[in-house]
Amino acid sequence: MNETPATEETDLTKAVADLIPYLLPNERVIAVEKPLIVTPTKRPDALTELMRLTHAKTPGEIGKHGPPFAALATEANEDVEELNLFSAFFGRDSLVVSSFLLPQFPLLARMTIIRLAKFQGTRYESHAEEEPGRILHEYRDHRSAIGKFLREERGWEFPYYGSVDTTPLFVKLITEYIAQENRCILGRIFTNKDGERRTILDALVGAVNWIKKRMDANPQGFVEFCRANPNGILNQAWKDSNDSYFHADGAIANHARGIASVEVQGYAYDALLSASKLYRKIFEKMPRDERFAASVADDLLSRAEKLRSSVFSEMWVEEKNGESFFALGTDRDSQGNPRQLAIRTSNMGHLLSSDMLIGDDLDTVKKRSAIVTTLLSPLMLSASGIRTLAKNEPRFRPGAYHNGSVWLWDSYMIACGLRKHGHIAAADDLEERMFAVVSKFNKFPEFAQGGDDAEPTLNERIVDIWDESRGVKNRIEQPPQEIQAWTVAAALAAKHRENEENGEWGQSRLIS
């Protein structure tokens, strides 16, 4: 199907009849395209794909050349434009991949930390959304087609810093690396983007201070996002589609003020706790005349506890039917008061991996159990894993980028949290669903559909709609990238854990 020219008057809704039940009254389809995508016939190899993503010739070189690209196309589809959107360096993706693979490839984590530190923000610049201490969202060659478009049409500058979660994830990775390797990277000297010599400790302190500054900007102590570039990314967490943050009635969140995403608060909580512990260790080893005040570590601990309390009070939803869950997050009304984005999403599942839900008190146990019950319910569990959005929520569409699809790394993150709290069978089941997607399509896709099909399904078409109420075009369906780095990493990490438990070693479940 060739692309049909889109105008505000176009109505192609009948051409995609299967989507009609998911369209809101003010929406109509204005463009439908089906790119020619070849399904690979060869069984994929996770280690080989990780080597491609990291430009490594051997497994021992993984990390030597720096962080991975976010995604690549398979060899058969290298010329398909829609499958080459993220062949670049992304902060969030590289941090997630490095964290998943830390037990196997610590060099990858080390080099990711150093590379991100080199590009850490040093000034306030609105086009790039740069801020002191902030970790980048993406770095593209400005001469590439996408890079050129973003600079000329959107007014971006690279590195571009429009994400709220990369900075706490950066802090977490540093502390995880030090804990595992029992070696300190903090004294490692690098040259930053301004040509100045800095250490990883400088970068860590800068990142922690950025988190603190965000928390100080609101009474609840949330780490919020609100874009500085009017043409920048609207939703600056991992679900960065324009329509992914909304209220229970379907109304889009208020982007004129700060938005707090629930999983980001979990990342920030862990970052503050781990940084506090690390600061104490540093303090103990410093000469007495060079020690910074122990109150710095105490302050981080206090902030973490306040953040946990705010999440529990402001983001917890109790419905009249007795069901309860964590909201997607909060936005703010015109007076600045926080409002719940009271919809069921996979985001709450990331809290299971966070220490925020550690505890045996009744309230913590209740909230932890409610998350598990919600995520494993038929509303959220599909053949491919956990849906990004429960299927009874407004704006749910089985193939929507962040409003109904299943992201395999997201499901794996949730599986890790389930395993952490003793839900072993459920965690194993989610991993098996992830591998079922990979095996069926012979690729490591970005996401799968979240419909009610008995077997995994992938999008094959691109569908754009016109939203009359907002006066905007919105893409509600597109094919997934084929070799997504964090899907590859999830597969490798899952198999590594399984082999360690069985006293075996294998690089990947999918190695031929």
Please answer whether residues 364 and 357 qualify as being in contact, where contact means their C-beta atoms are separated by less than 8 angstroms.
yes
| Domains contained in the chain, CATH given | 101-216 (no CATH), 218-381 (1.50.10.10)
Residues 6+ apart with CB under 8 A from 295: none
**CA distance readout (Å), 426 to 60, 371, 383:** 33, 13, 13
Instruction: Report which residue type is found at 227.
Output: R
Determine if the pTM surpasses 0.75: yes
Q: How far apart are CA 183 and CA 284, in angstroms?
A: 16
Q: How far apart are CA 9 and CA 505, in angstroms?
A: 59
Residues 6+ apart with CB under 8 A from 216: none
| Residue 158 structure tokens | 């690279």
CA atoms within 13 A on the CB side of 269: 24
Helices and strands, number each (H, E), in the chain: 12, 19
Instruction: Report which residue type is found at 209.
Output: N
Q: Read off the DSSP letter of residue 133.
A: T
| List of E strands, 195-258 | 197-199, 224-225
**CA distance readout (Å), 34 to 12, 149, 455:** 14, 23, 21
| Residue 170 structure tokens | 């950066």
Q: CA torsion sign, 136 to 142 to 144 to 149? A: positive
Instruction: Report which residue type is found at 494.
Output: A
* Residue ranges in 62-132 assigned as alpha helix (H): 91-100, 106-118
Residues 6+ apart with CB under 8 A from 357: 351, 364, 367, 368, 371, 421
Residue among 200, 170, 177, 173 at smallest CA distance from 188: 200
pLDDT tens for the chain, residues 1 to 512: 344 445 556 899 999 999 999 999 999 999 999 999 999 999 999 999 999 999 999 999 999 999 999 999 999 999 999 999 999 999 999 999 999 999 999 999 999 999 999 999 999 999 999 999 999 999 999 899 999 999 999 999 999 999 999 999 999 999 999 999 987 899 999 999 999 999 999 999 999 999 999 999 999 999 999 999 999 999 999 999 999 999 999 999 999 999 999 999 999 999 999 999 999 888 777 666 555 657 889 999 999 999 999 999 999 999 988 899 999 999 999 999 999 999 999 999 999 999 999 999 999 999 999 999 999 999 999 999 999 999 999 999 999 999 999 999 999 999 999 999 999 999 999 999 999 999 999 999 999 999 999 999 999 999 999 999 999 999 999 999 999 999 999 999 999 999 988 887 544 333 32
Q: How far apart are CA 12 and CA 147, in angstroms?
A: 31
Instruction: Report which residue type is found at 447.
Output: F
Q: How far apart are CA 108 and CA 61, in angstroms?
A: 9
Residues 6+ apart with CB under 8 A from 279: 292, 296, 297, 300
User: Residue 62: helix, strand or coil by DSSP?
Assistant: coil
